[in-house]
């Protein structure tokens, strides 16, 4: 750009507009003004500059335009590669057919089952035909009892339960780290010459099955022609198929491939796997115990916490009860005090017994405890007077002499009598507000029975 | 989790052989100035001089240096194919496809030139150089048995539609070019380059060879199912021994499992079981990012070692710091 600047002078507007560049607003008036300035100062050089500029414009513009259209053409013509995409789809269709992990696994197991059956059948035929197939027979003898693949791994009626067979590699990793168990990975390669070797000689052998049962191993089988299997094999850096790998938790957080059998089966011995399992089992148990300890500590702490919370709650409850109790007592005391005050006041208000029989009714009151009181009352008073008298009698305040100091009626206090007075014949309760003279049962004289109200 | 096959050619003798042949033969030929014997053309060599040995050797050496490099790279990418098929079968496949592609290309060339190529300007004269036919027939096998692991999109917006056309989608769609690229784009690009680099002959021979690959796979061209190259199994199985005996090869730890394990440990330690219940969800493997960590020095093997092993440098530094 500096070269351009120098050749075109120091004007800012001197750049060549590249077709397709970002649109800017080059101020046209600036262009004109600078030219005007230049033309004002020295005209002949300006005309020469202008010619040079146009020539350079022409020289540089053409290749850039060509370059632009060339690039554009290349990008556009990439659309012509659409048929190649279809070619790509030709291969992709097969791989996209099964994306679900579990269905992939089922398909693999089915295929293996069928092929294993075919292989064993042909082997059996070979043995029947000539009987000289010593290699396979010796193999069978050396590996002990052979299971058929279907009986072990068939999804419907297999020996291994569902929990042992994992659906995907990540599931296997999760389960291994969670349950602290060994995991066995088998990567099947259907394209190899002797691809059923591992299946027939390792996976179906009694030693292998016993090992799986003994060490509670989790299994995952994958196919390297599926995406998942390929990823796993790349991640584990497998150089030869098929692979039989054992993964195990190492330390607290890491899962590692602790052993692998890959490639040709000729070097495999059943004792190797057994040795690896037994060697690493102690560490696995240790890890398991660590985890149990942590879990135990967590439980203990939880229990302690809950116990502490319990006792705390109990204490709070007790505290609140105590508070309530004292409050209630205080209120009772207050009530008592006010009642007492009221009684004293009432006593001071109690009218004296009329001396004459005129305008007086003579009432005999039988208290609850059998005591019998006889007193005259002024007939013009309400029956409340009788109530008050009885109340005072009940509180034993009639004969006490402590009424020397003046007592005021307590404010905001409405006394409730805890009993009622009844005329026996006819049985009628005495109303508080009626006058004594209006009650026929006790005027001029009568009997009254006191009955306590049950609260 | 690495998405590539393991680096290097350990345990891959056939790939090694192919790469060495691809690189060394052109070098030696150009040093010895004998490159011309690998050039195959119909007109003078086959028709006039009857030099049929050129048919046998033209696939061993690419005339162009760029072809040589591209072929070497493709052979290196095909190491996955060797891993998948096994070395013996892979070698057999290479030999078979060499024979079939040579025969096929030559035969079609003869037929074409006998019937249509009477006129000079319609004659099919040039052939591809280098192992392009073999590679193209192997491409079918690679594509057929290698699933795609991931893909991404590239979007090219035309420069004219810069800021202004973000508003109306139609113009943007018209000017935008979207490429979907998957994890095999390197191989695809190399194959495309290889074919285009040799012009029309490359396209033609490549297509014929690809068809040969398909026919070999489907069994139409016999040999792959029952025949193996004899007497070479000793050399091929010289690779690394099966590692059953060298079994303590601790290699891979996965980050996800590790992370989950730490989360579990943390929750177990704090006694807060609420966050831990998202454990056994089966993530699709495609999205998970697990990376292998190479591990296992001797100190790591001690059972119950709580402290991670410190490298020597750190130990020195710690010593001097205290």
Domain assignments of chain B as residue spans, ordered by start: 13-146+185-218, 152-183, 243-264+292-322
Please check whether residue B128 is in contact with residue B55, taking contact to mean a CB–CB distance below 8 angstroms. no
Nearest to A193 among B1, B88, B244 (CB): B88
In a domain, residue A404? The reply is yes
Which burial class, exposed, middle or buried, applies to B128 when counting CB atoms under 10 A from its CB (0-12, 13-18, 19+)? buried
In a domain, residue A396? The reply is yes
CATH number, domain containing residue A430: 3.10.20.90
Distance CA(B161)–CA(B167), nearest Å, equals: 10
Asked if A219 is an interface residue toward chain B (Cβ–Cβ < 8 A), one would say no
Q: Express each pLDDT in A363-411 by its tens digit.
A: 888 888 888 888 888 878 888 888 888 888 888 777 766 555 667 777 7
Strand partners of residue A360? A378
Please check whether residue A197 is in contact with residue A234, taking contact to mean a CB–CB distance below 8 angstroms. no
Nearest to A272 among B247, B285, B292 (CB): B247
Neighbours of B142 (CB within 10 A): 20
Chain centre to alpha carbon of residue B154: 22
Question: Whole domain around residue A378: which residue ranges?
Answer: 350-452
Looking at chain A from residue 24 to 63, which residues have their Cβ under 8 Å from any Cβ of chain B? none
Q: Is the peptide bond before A242 cis (omega within 30 degrees of 0)?
A: yes
Scanning every residue of chain B, which has its alpha carbon at the shortest distance from the alpha carbon of A279? B248
The ipTM, to two decimals, is 0.71
Token match 């592609």: residue?
B101
In a domain, residue A157? The reply is no
**Residue ranges with strand state E in chain B:** 151-156, 177-182
* Dihedrals phi, psi of A313, to nearest 5 degrees: -65, -40
Distance from CA of B198 to the nearest CA of A (A): 18
In a domain, residue A37? The reply is no
- Of A145, A122, A144, A126, give the one whose Cα is nearest residue A134: A126
In a domain, residue A433? The reply is yes
Distance from CA of B209 to the nearest CA of A (A): 15
Scanning every residue of chain B, which has its alpha carbon at the shortest distance from the alpha carbon of A166? B282
Q: Express each pLDDT in B231-245 by its tens digit.
A: 887 777 654 444 433
Architecture of domain B13-146+185-218: Up-down Bundle (1.20)
Written as tens digits, the pLDDT of chain A (455 aa) is: 455 555 544 444 445 556 655 555 444 444 444 444 444 445 566 778 888 888 888 888 888 999 989 988 887 887 777 777 777 777 776 666 556 778 888 888 888 888 887 766 665 454 443 333 333 333 444 445 577 787 777 766 666 766 778 888 888 888 888 888 889 999 999 888 888 888 888 888 888 888 888 888 888 988 888 888 898 999 888 888 888 888 888 877 788 888 888 877 776 777 888 888 888 888 888 888 988 999 999 999 999 999 999 999 999 999 999 999 999 999 999 988 888 888 888 888 777 777 777 777 888 888 888 888 888 888 788 888 888 888 888 887 777 665 556 677 777 788 888 888 888 777 878 777 787 777 777 777 788 888 888 75
Distance CA(B12)–CA(B8), nearest Å, equals: 9
- Lowest-pLDDT range of A337-341, A391-395, B4-8, B120-124: A391-395
Distance CA(B104)–CA(B111), nearest Å, equals: 10
In a domain, residue A124? The reply is no
| Residue B148, both tokens | 């795609």
Distance CA(A339)–CA(B159), nearest Å, equals: 100
- Report the relative pairing of strands A218-223 and A183-188 from DSSP bridges: parallel
pTM, full prediction: 0.65
Number of folded domains that form chain A: 1
- Report the relative pairing of strands A254-262 and A445-452 from DSSP bridges: unpaired
Nearest to B89 among A193, A227, A298 (CB): A193
Following DSSP, what letter does each residue of A110-176 receive, concatenated? HHHHHHHHHHHHHHHHHHHHHS--HHHHHHHHHT-SB--HHHHH-SSS-SS-TTTB-SSHHHHHHHH
Collapse the DSSP code of A375 into the 3-class scheme (helix H, G, I; strand E, B; otherwise coil) and give the result.
Answer: strand
């Amino acid at each position: 750009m500096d070269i351009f600047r120098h050749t075109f002078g120091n004007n800012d507007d001197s750049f060549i507009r590249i077709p397709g560049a970002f649109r800017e607003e080059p101020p046209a008036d600036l262009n004109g003004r600078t030219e005007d300035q230049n033309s004002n100062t020295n005209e002949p050089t300006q005309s020469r500059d202008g010619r040079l500029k146009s020539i350079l414009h022409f020289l540089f513009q053409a290749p850039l335009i060509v370059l632009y259209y060339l690039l554009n053409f290349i990008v556009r013509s990439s659309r012509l590669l659409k048929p190649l995409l279809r070619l790509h789809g030709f291969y992709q269709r097969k791989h996209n057919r099964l994306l679900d992990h579990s269905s992939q696994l089922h398909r693999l197991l089915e295929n293996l089952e069928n092929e294993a059956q075919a292989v064993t059948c042909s082997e059996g035929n070979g043995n029947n035909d000539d009987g000289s197939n010593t290699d396979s027979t010796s193999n069978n003898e050396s590996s002990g009892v052979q299971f058929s693949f279907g009986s072990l791994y068939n999804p419907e009626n297999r020996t291994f339960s569902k929990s042992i067979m994992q659906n995907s590699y990540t599931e296997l990793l999760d389960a291994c780290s969670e349950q602290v168990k060994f995991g066995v990975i088998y990567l099947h390669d259907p394209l190899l010459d002797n691809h059923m070797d591992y299946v027939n000689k390792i996976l179906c052998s009694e030693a292998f099955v016993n090992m799986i049962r003994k060490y509670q191993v989790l299994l995952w089988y994958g196919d390297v022609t599926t995406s998942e299997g390929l990823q796993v094999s790349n991640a584990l850096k497998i150089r030869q198929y098929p692979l039989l790998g054992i993964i195990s938790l190492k330390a607290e957080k890491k899962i590692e491939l602790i052993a692998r059998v890959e490639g040709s089966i000729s070097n495999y011995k059943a004792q190797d796997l057994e040795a690896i399992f037994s060697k690493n089992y102690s560490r696995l148990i240790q890890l398991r115990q660590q985890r149990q300890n942590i879990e135990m500590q967590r439980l203990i702490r939880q229990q302690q916490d809950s116990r502490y919370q319990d006792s705390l709650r109990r204490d709070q409850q007790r505290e609140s009860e105590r508070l309530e109790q004292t409050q209630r007592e205080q209120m009772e005391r207050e009530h008592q005090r006010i009642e007492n005050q009221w009684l004293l006041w009432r006593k001071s208000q109690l009218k004296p017994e009329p001396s004459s029989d005129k305008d007086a009714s003579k009432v005999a009151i039988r208290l609850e405890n059998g005591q019998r009181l006889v007193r005259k009352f002024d007939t013009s008073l309400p029956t409340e007077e009788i109530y008050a008298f009885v109340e005072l009698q009940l509180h034993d305040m009639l004969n006490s002499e402590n009424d020397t100091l003046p007592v005021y009626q307590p404010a905001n206090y409405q006394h409730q009598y805890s009993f009622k007075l009844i005329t026996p014949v006819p049985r009628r309760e005495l109303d508080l507000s009626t006058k004594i003279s209006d009650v026929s049962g006790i005027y001029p004289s009568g009997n009254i029975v006191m009955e306590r109200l049950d609260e | 989790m690495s998405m590539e096959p393991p680096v290097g050619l350990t345990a891959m003798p056939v790939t090694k052989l192919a790469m060495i042949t691809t690189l060394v033969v052109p070098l030696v030929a150009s040093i010895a100035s004998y490159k011309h014997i690998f050039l195959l053309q119909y007109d003078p060599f086959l028709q006039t001089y009857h030099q049929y040995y050129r048919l046998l050797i033209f696939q061993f050496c690419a005339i162009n240096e760029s072809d040589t490099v591209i072929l070497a790279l493709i052979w290196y990418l095909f190491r996955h194919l060797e891993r998948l098929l096994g070395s013996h079968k892979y070698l057999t496949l290479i030999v078979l496809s060499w024979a079939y592609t040579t025969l096929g290309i030559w035969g079609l060339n003869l037929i074409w030139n006998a019937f249509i190529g009477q006129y000079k300007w319609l004659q099919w004269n040039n052939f591809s150089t280098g192992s392009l036919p073999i590679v193209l027939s192997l491409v079918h096998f690679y594509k057929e048995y290698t699933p795609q692991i991931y893909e991404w999109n590239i979007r090219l917006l035309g420069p004219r539609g810069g800021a202004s056309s973000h508003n109306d989608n139609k113009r943007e769609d018209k000017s935008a070019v979207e490429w979907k690229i998957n994890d095999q784009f390197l191989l695809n690009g190399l194959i495309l380059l290889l074919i285009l680099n040799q012009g029309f002959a490359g396209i033609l021979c490549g297509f014929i060879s690809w068809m040969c690959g398909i026919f070999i796979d489907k069994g139409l061209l016999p040999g792959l199912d029952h025949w193996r190259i004899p007497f070479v199994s000793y050399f091929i199985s010289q690779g690394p021994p099966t590692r059953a005996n060298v079994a303590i090869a601790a290699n891979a730890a996965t980050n996800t499992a590790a992370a989950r394990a730490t989360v579990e440990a943390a929750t177990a330690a704090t006694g807060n079981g609420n966050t831990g219940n998202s454990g056994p969800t089966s993530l699709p493997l495609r999205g998970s990012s697990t990376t292998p960590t190479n591990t296992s020095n001797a100190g790591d093997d001690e059972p119950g070692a709580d402290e991670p092993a410190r490298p020597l440098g750190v130990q020195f530094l710690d010593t001097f710091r205290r």
